[in-house]
């Protein structure tokens, strides 16, 4: 992996989970990191961990749907570090009340829909809007990484707003890559499947992990570090010829036919693992 020495990154949702792992991995590869989270104390703890590892890191506490705060944070990053190279839009509307209210299309309130869209789509759009001119005027290039989800690809009985927002984020990714590629901006995404963050392990029904495990190709659950490794790759010059793509990181759950498990009926010799049935 090429170093990110001298590069400056802004990452959202850094207080915990995947965002924390991305901030620390970028820092471990040499970048200076500006972390943003609605949980300012948590973001500061992540920044402190990055500093303890020898990196330069600062944190801000604000809602990514707040355009003025996002503009100020990007201007502050340039004032503090002299440049901006990387933006990672990772925060999502993870508030428990919003997640509980995100049901099917009939039951979901407009308040829930608007909040999910504000954080998951408006937030990344605002960050791109302010970061791209800052990247071009200081570094002369930039790499944007948007954290989507495999929920963008499938229908589900719940999470109508979340799924639509993550599909919109993939469309935003392609639009930014298209409009600003010639100017030196790369824009890619990552669509994780289930990742065992501390919150996911705490909040999700254990049956959910079992369902996912039986429907992936790899008999393992993803970790935040595995997503962070792809984000750091996309941020780096190793991915200099990669743009407009969203990388699925899901242990192969999206790679097979929906009736994959039924293949055990036709080819029992290939499925000696009882857990698949």
Ligand X SMILES: NC(=O)c1ccc[n+]([C@@H]2O[C@H](COP(=O)([O-])OP(=O)(O)OC[C@H]3O[C@@H](n4cnc5c(N)ncnc54)[C@H](O)[C@@H]3O)[C@@H](O)[C@H]2O)c1
| CA-wise closest residue to 251 among 165, 167, 163, 191 | 191
Among 9, 32, 78, 90, binds ligand X (CB under 6 A): 90
Among 7, 35, 37, 57, binds ligand X (CB under 6 A): 37
Give me the least distance between CB of 197 and ligand X, in Å please: 4
Q: Is 91 among the residues that bind ligand X (CB under 6 A)?
A: yes
Q: Which x/- pattern over 142-161 shows residues binding ligand X (rule: CB under 6 A)?
A: -----x-x------------
Q: Is 126 among the residues that bind ligand X (CB under 6 A)?
A: no
Q: Is 119 among the residues that bind ligand X (CB under 6 A)?
A: yes
Q: Is 108 among the residues that bind ligand X (CB under 6 A)?
A: no
Q: How far apart are CA 85 and CA 29, in angstroms?
A: 14
130 is catalytic: no
Q: Is 92 among the residues that bind ligand X (CB under 6 A)?
A: yes
For 100, residues 6+ apart whose C-beta sits below 8 A from its C-beta are: none
Q: Which two tokens stand for residue 96?
A: 């428990």
DSSP for 83-107 reads: ---EEEE------HHHHHH---TTT
Catalytic, out of 162, 212, 233, 241: 162
For the chain, state the CA radius of gyration. Answer: 19
Which helix (H) or strand (E) segment holds residue 145: the answer is strand 142-147
Q: Is 73 among the residues that bind ligand X (CB under 6 A)?
A: no
The smaller minimum CB distance to ligand X, of residues 139 and 234, is found at 234
Q: Is 185 among the residues that bind ligand X (CB under 6 A)?
A: no
Q: Are 49 and 253 in contact (CB under 8 A)?
A: no
The smaller minimum CB distance to ligand X, of residues 37 and 85, is found at 37
The smaller minimum CB distance to ligand X, of residues 42 and 142, is found at 42
Q: Are 227 and 22 in contact (CB under 8 A)?
A: yes
Q: How far apart are CA 141 and CA 143, in angstroms?
A: 7
Q: What are the residues binding ligand X (CB under 6 A)?
A: 12-13, 15-19, 37-39, 42, 63-65, 90-94, 119, 147, 149, 192, 194-195, 197, 199-200
- Give me the active site residues, please: 162
């Amino acid at each position: 992996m090429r170093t990110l020495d001298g590069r400056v990154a802004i990452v959202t949702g850094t207080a915990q989970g995947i965002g924390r792992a991305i901030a620390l991995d970028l820092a471990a590869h040499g970048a200076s990191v500006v972390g943003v989270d609605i949980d300012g104390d948590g973001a500061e703890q992540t920044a402190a961990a990055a500093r303890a590892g020898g990196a330069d890191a600062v944190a801000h506490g604000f809602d990514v749907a707040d355009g003025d705060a996002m503009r100020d944070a990007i201007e502050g990053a340039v004032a503090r570090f002299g440049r901006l190279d990387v933006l990672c839009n990772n925060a999502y509307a993870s508030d428990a009340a919003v997640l509980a209210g995100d049901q099917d299309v009939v039951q979901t309130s407009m308040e829930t829909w608007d909040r999910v869209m504000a954080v998951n789509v408006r937030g990344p759009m605002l960050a791109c809007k302010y970061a791209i001119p800052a990247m071009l005027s200081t570094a002369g290039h930039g790499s944007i990484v948007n954290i989507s989800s495999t929920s963008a690809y499938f229908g589900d009985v719940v999470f109508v707003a979340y799924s639509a927002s993550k599909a919109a984020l993939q469309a935003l990714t392609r639009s930014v890559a298209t409009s600003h590629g010639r100017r030196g901006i790369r824009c890619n995404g990552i669509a994780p499947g289930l990742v065992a963050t501390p919150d996911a392990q705490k909040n999700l029904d254990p049956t959910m992990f079992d369902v996912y495990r039986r429907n992936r190709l790899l008999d393992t659950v993803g970790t935040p570090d595995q997503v962070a490794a792809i984000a750091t790759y996309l941020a780096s010059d190793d991915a200099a010829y990669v743009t407009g793509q969203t990388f699925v990181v899901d242990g192969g759950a999206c790679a097979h036919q929906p009736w994959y498990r039924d293949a055990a009926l036709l080819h029992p010799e290939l499925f000696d693992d009882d857990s698949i049935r």
